[in-house]
């Protein structure tokens, strides 16, 4: 255990978080993965996260239940219909309706609590500022502010440690993320990115997440190994 650096990695079961987990492992961290059941339509993403955690070198994986549906206000928690488009160029700059209010803040706060108990000083989060420019809580200035707050919030900060929030994907295009993940041996066939997949995890192919992901594989001259409807 001597000298081992633990990291808490937020793992949704999607492409970005799985790549982020692979990066944390490649940097030598002992990875502790945390997944949230926050009122998604079904458990396909959770199942994907469990599968990924088992196949990658994760020390411990926990699934935290929370019910963001109490607050309402997002397509991802079932209040509003997910937008379907035919091309990635239709995605605008507006804050998407799939934005879940304060979601990353809640998720990072849980990760912070677990990190404190584990004695970990590193959190890894697969946010991306390019593809998700409309989400306030995917911006670098937000991450920096969370990190400052986290260092004041916890015993670790008081006792002279520095908590770091790592966002290795924040400036990467989806195509670059995929290339990096493939270099690190990520099996993207097991990841689910779709906002509206069926209960078996088969992706719709037309939500923003599917379109961005398909474009990323295409730009690498690759076929997405995930399952798509039709």
Which residue from 29, 132, 146, 195 is in contact with its own copies, where contact means CB under 8 A? 146
- On the CB side of 142, how many CA atoms lie within 13 Å of its CA? 18
Among 49-57, 123-131, 151-159, 176-184, the segment contacting its own copies (CB under 8 A): 151-159
Which residue from 55, 71, 162, 229 is in contact with its own copies, where contact means CB under 8 A? 71
Containing H/E element for 16? helix 15-26
Report, in Å, the least distance between residue 40 CB and its own copies: 16
| Paired tokens of 7 | 């990291």
Nearer to its own copies, 112 or 192 (CB): 112
- Beta-bridge mates of residue 31: 7, 58
166 lies in the binding site for its own copies (CB under 8 A): no
Which residue from 61, 103, 174, 215 is in contact with its own copies, where contact means CB under 8 A? 103
Q: Are 80 and 97 in contact (CB under 8 A)?
A: yes
179 lies in the binding site for its own copies (CB under 8 A): no
28 lies in the binding site for its own copies (CB under 8 A): no
What backbone phi and psi angles, to 5 degrees, belong to 72? 70, -170
Buried b (16+ CB within 10 A) or exposed e, 147-158: bebbbebbebbe
Nearer to its own copies, 72 or 185 (CB): 72
Residue 7: alpha-carbon gap to chain centroid: 15
16 lies in the binding site for its own copies (CB under 8 A): no
78 lies in the binding site for its own copies (CB under 8 A): no
- Cβ atoms within 10 Å of 216's Cβ, excluding its own: 24
Report, in Å, the least distance between residue 192 CB and its own copies: 23
227 lies in the binding site for its own copies (CB under 8 A): no
154 lies in the binding site for its own copies (CB under 8 A): yes
CA triplet 143, 224, 173: central angle to 5 degrees?
30
Nearest Cα residue to 47 out of 9, 10, 8, 13? 13
184 lies in the binding site for its own copies (CB under 8 A): no
Task: Kindly provide the residue ranges of all beta strands, DSSP E only, lying in 137-179, ordered along the sequence.
Answer: 164-166
155 lies in the binding site for its own copies (CB under 8 A): yes
Residues in touch with its own copies (CB under 8 A): 62, 64-68, 70-73, 95, 99-106, 109-110, 112-114, 116-117, 136-137, 139, 141-142, 145-146, 148-150, 152-155, 157-158
């Amino acid at each position: 255990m001597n000298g081992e650096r633990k990291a808490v990695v937020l793992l949704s079961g999607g492409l970005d978080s799985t790549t982020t987990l692979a990066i944390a492992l490649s940097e030598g961290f002992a990875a502790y993965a945390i997944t949230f059941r926050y009122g998604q339509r079904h458990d396909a993403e959770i199942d994907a996260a469990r599968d990924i955690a088992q196949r990658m070198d994760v020390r411990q994986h926990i699934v935290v239940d929370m019910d963001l549906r109490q607050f309402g206000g997002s397509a991802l928690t079932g209040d509003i219909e997910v937008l379907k488009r035919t091309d990635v160029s239709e995605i605008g700059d507006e804050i998407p309706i799939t934005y879940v209010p304060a979601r990353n803040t809640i998720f990072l706060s849980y990760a912070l609590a677990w990190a404190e108990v584990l004695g970990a000083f590193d959190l890894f989060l697969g946010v991306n500022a390019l593809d998700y420019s409309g989400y306030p809580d995917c911006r670098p200035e937000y991450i920096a502010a969370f990190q400052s707050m986290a260092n004041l919030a916890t015993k670790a900060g008081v006792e002279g440690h520095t908590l770091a929030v790592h966002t290795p994907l924040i400036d990467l295009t989806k195509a670059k993320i995929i290339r990096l993940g493939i270099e690190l041996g990520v099996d993207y066939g097991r990841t689910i990115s779709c906002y509206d997949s069926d209960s078996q995890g088969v992706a719709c192919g037309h939500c923003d997440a599917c379109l961005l992901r398909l474009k990323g594989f295409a730009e690498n001259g690759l076929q997405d190994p995930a399952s798509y409807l039709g």
